[in-house]
Amino acid sequence: MAAHLQLKYPFRERPRSEWGSIATELLGAETKFVQGERWRHRVVEKGDPKAPPLFMYHGIGGHVEPYARTLPQLAKHFRVFAVDALYHGYSSKEPWEGENRVVRQAEAYVDLINALGYDKAHYEGESMGAFIGFEIGMRFPQTVDKLILNGMGIIETQRKEFKTQPHKGDLFDLSKKAVLDPSYENVRNRLLWLVHDDDAVNDEMIAIRQRLYQDPAVNAAMRRVFGIDGGRLQANHDAPYTEEQIKARWTHKDTMVIYGEFNPGRGPDYGEYCADLIGAKFYEFKGAGHWPMWETPDEYVAVLRSFLES
């Protein structure tokens, strides 16, 4: 079994009534566009320029805003960059390479850190962001210091003992409805898939994603990402890695896998299996779904600091 992370820092999870709006939480952060050698990247940046850099990547169909509750606290200790992944949000969307999407997204991380003057950095990625992080670890391990994979699910296995978690509908169907008709109800239903507590999805987050999906360029990109025109969800990786491939190629040592207790589909037992396979540490967020950085942000900050500062 994987070694479990021991928290170094206490935390008090603040009630939602104490959280401000996303705009309020990100006061003092800088939203900017960084032109790399190959792509243009939208980032929200905060923290001491001399502090260790930490890059944070969201899940499929997403954008930087779900990190609003954690970025300000982490920025007290790191130079934090929350990033719109390639093909998402307001980052570059061309040229589209669907079959090699995750590989290109990993290359885009390298393109971005190089444009900002870094040779390597800490990396945290959620869901698709975890797939990107895993690809970075496989292909470009020299560019990442400590690696955090939230909701990682890229390993192909024939094992049957993993518990199947309940979920709030079919991901492709929910995504297709939200992209084709980004109404309040459709976007809300898509976001509810990500959380355990429905009340965690607020009007502001719904409005932000509505606005993004109503943008013609973003909407066209989401149609390609979700494979809507082809009638199926574009896989996060067209050839998932097998246990044998990982054992032969994985060399990155400072890695942690994290999972929400109520992660939809594959749950924490699968996450711990992934962590054990790559020699990573493991941590489970009780009471959270697919978005622990949004549902349990204070614990999330304590977990990241405990790992990154160890």
Residue 30: give its domain's CATH number: 3.40.50.1820
In the three-class reduction of DSSP (H, G, I as helix; E, B as strand; rest coil), residue 202 is classed as: coil
How far lies 262's CA from each of 104, 124, 225, 272, in Å?
Answer: 30, 20, 25, 14
88 by Cβ neighbours in 10 Å (0-12 / 13-18 / 19+) ranks as buried
What pLDDT, on the 0 to 100 scale, is given for residue 230? 65
- Spell out the residues 6+ positions from residue 289 whose beta carbon is closer than 8 angstroms to its own: 194, 195, 196, 197, 260, 262, 263, 264, 295
| Residue 200 located in a structural domain | no
| Residue 201 located in a structural domain | no
What pLDDT, on the 0 to 100 scale, is given for residue 237? 43
Q: Which amino acid is at 58?
A: H
Please, where are the H alpha helices in 99-215?
101-115, 128-139, 171-180, 184-192, 203-214
pLDDT tens for each residue of 63-93: 999 999 999 999 999 999 999 999 999 999 9
What is the number of structural domains in the chain? 1
What pLDDT, on the 0 to 100 scale, is given for residue 268? 94
Per-residue pLDDT of the chain (310 residues; tens, 9 = 90+): 899 999 999 999 999 889 889 999 999 999 999 999 999 999 999 999 999 999 999 999 999 999 999 999 999 999 999 999 999 999 999 999 888 899 999 999 999 999 999 999 999 999 999 999 999 999 999 999 999 999 987 777 777 788 888 889 998 899 999 999 999 999 999 999 999 999 999 999 999 999 999 999 999 999 999 999 765 554 444 446 888 888 889 999 899 999 999 999 889 999 999 999 999 999 999 999 999 999 999 999 999 999 999 9
Give the length of the chain. 310
| Residue 297 located in a structural domain | yes
Separation between Cα atoms, residue 257 and residue 9, nearest integer Å: 18
Task: Give the range of the structural domain holding residue 67, as residue numbers without chain letter.
Answer: 16-165+237-308
What pLDDT, on the 0 to 100 scale, is given for residue 266? 86
What pLDDT, on the 0 to 100 scale, is given for residue 154? 75
| Residue 265 located in a structural domain | yes
| Residue 185 located in a structural domain | no
| Residue 53 located in a structural domain | yes
| Residue 267 located in a structural domain | yes
